[in-house]
Chain A
Amino acid sequence: MRAEVWAGARDALTTVVPSIVAYGIVWGGLARQAGLSLGELVAMCLLVTAGTAQFVALPMLQAGAPAWLLVVTTYVVNLRHYLMAASLAPYVAHLSRGWQALLAHGVTDESYALTMARFATHRPHPAYFAGSAATTYLAWYIGATAGGILGGRIPDPHRYGLDFVFPAVFIAILARTIQAPWQWAVAGVSALVALAVKGALGGTWHIALAGLGASALGIWLAPGGSASTTGPVGSRGEPIGP
C-alpha cells in the first residue's frame, strides 16, 4: 500500500505539481490584492479545497459579493466533480465509510486524471489516488502560502508555458489510453461539445456537459457488460486500458 501512495505522489510530483505550485503562487498574490490577509487566504485554501472555485471567488470577494452567491458559484464550478466521484466510486467500494469520506476530498481534476490513467494499466488501488490527491493538495497549499507571502511580486506562469502543463498531462493520458474506435468516438464528441459549450457559455459548464453527453456514446459503443464488478478491480477500469 505504501508503494501505491508513493507511486501516486511521484506521478503527481513529476507532472502537475510544478504548475500547481506556480498557480498557487499566482492565486496567493491575487488573494492578497483582493484584500485577504495571509491567515485568511490560508484558511480559504484549507476550507474550500478547490483551486478553480477559489480563482473564480477572488474577484467576487473583491467586489463584495454576498456570501450565498459565493457558495452557489462554488457549487456550480465544482459540479464536474460529481462525474469524477461517480467513476472513482467502485475503486473505493471495499473501504470503510470513514475512508470513503476522507478520500472524497481528494477528487480534483489532476488527481482524477492521473488515477484513471494509472488504473487503466495497473491493478487499481485507492492508495494511489490518496497519494496523488494529497500531493496535489500540498502543492496548492505551499504555492498559495508562498504567493500570499510574496504578495504581487510573482512571475507569470504563462510566460514559461507552465499553464500548458495541465492540458499536456490530460492529452498525454488520453494518448496513452485511447485505442479502440469507440474511445476515439467518445473523445471526438466530447471535444466538439466541450469547445462549443465553452465558446458559448464560458465558465466550467463544458466539462460537466461534455462529460455527461459524450459518455452516453459508451452505452451503445463500449464493449458491454463483462458484468463482473467484483470489487475495486471491476470491469469499469478495463475498457480505457491499452
Chain B
Amino acid sequence: MRPGLLLTFAAMGVATYLTRAPLVFALARRRLPDWLERYFAALPIALITALALPLVLLAPGNAVPGWVTDLPAAVVVAVLARRTGHLLVAVAGGVVLAAVLRALLG
C-alpha cells in the first residue's frame, strides 16, 4: 500500500466532503427568504432532470444513439411510473425494453 496514494485519496475525500457538508450546516437552522424557498422547491426537479436526460440521450458507449433505444424505454418508464406509481415496476419495464432494443438494433 503506497502511503502517498493513500494521502491523495484522503485529500480527494476531503474535497468530496467539502461539496457535501458546508451547505447542510449553513442552511439547516436558517429561515430562508421566500424567494429562496421557491428556488429550493424547484431544485429537486431541476437536478434530477439534469441527471437523467443526458444519460438517456447522450450516454457514451452506445452503439446506436440513445434516442433510438433508450428514449422509448424512458417513455415506458414514465408511463409505468405514472400509471402504477411503482418505482420498481417502472424501472424494470424500462430496463428490459432498453436491453431488448439494444440487442435488436445495436
Question: Which A residues are CB-close (under 8 A) to B29?
Answer: 93
Choose from A164, A206, A229 the contact partner of B95 (Cβ within 8 Å): A164
Instruction: Decide yes or no: A191 and B16 within 8 Å by CB, A15-B91, A174-B48 being known contacts.
Output: no
Choose from B19, B42, B56 the contact partner of A215 (Cβ within 8 Å): B42
Q: Are B48 and A170 in contact (CB under 8 A)?
A: yes
Question: Which B residues are CB-close (under 8 A) to A97?
Answer: 25
Q: Are B20 and A81 in contact (CB under 8 A)?
A: yes
Q: Are B19 and A75 in contact (CB under 8 A)?
A: yes
**CB of B37 to closest CB in A, whole Å:** 6
Q: Name the segment of A1-9, A138-146, A147-155, A233-241 touching the other chain.
A: A233-241
* A181 interfacial by beta-carbon distance below 8 Å: no
Closest residue to B100 on the A side, CB-wise? A161
Closest residue to B38 on the A side, CB-wise? A222
Instruction: Decide yes or no: A172 and B90 within 8 Å by CB, A43-B1, A198-B54, A224-B34 being known contacts.
Output: yes
**Count of chain B residues with a beta carbon within 8 Å of a chain A beta carbon:** 77
CA distance A103 to B4 in the complex (A): 28
Q: Are A164 and B70 in contact (CB under 8 A)?
A: yes
* A218 interfacial by beta-carbon distance below 8 Å: yes
* B104 interfacial by beta-carbon distance below 8 Å: no
CA distance A214 to B54 in the complex (A): 15
**CB of A35 to closest CB in B, whole Å:** 10
CA distance A210 to B50 in the complex (A): 6
Q: Which of A113, A172, A225 has the most CB of B within 10 A?
A: A172
Choose from B12, B48, B54, B74 the contact partner of A116 (Cβ within 8 Å): B48
**CB of B49 to closest CB in A, whole Å:** 4
Closest residue to A91 on the B side, CB-wise? B28
> What string of 1s and 0s marks CB contacts (under 8 Å) between B14-39 and chain A?
11111111111111110110110111
Q: Are B54 and A236 in contact (CB under 8 A)?
A: no
CA distance A236 to B43 in the complex (A): 10
Given A40-B2, A186-B42, A236-B37, 13 other A-B residues pairs in contact with their CB atoms under 8 A: A82-B23, A85-B22, A86-B23, A89-B23, A107-B24, A170-B49, A174-B48, A186-B45, A187-B49, A194-B53, A215-B46, A219-B35, A240-B41
9 contacts between A and B (CB under 8 A): A43-B6, A44-B9, A57-B12, A171-B77, A175-B81, A194-B54, A210-B49, A214-B46, A225-B34
Residues of B bordering A, CB below 8 Å: 1-2, 4-29, 31-32, 34-35, 37-59, 61-62, 70, 73-74, 77-82, 85, 87-88, 90-91, 94-96, 98-99, 102
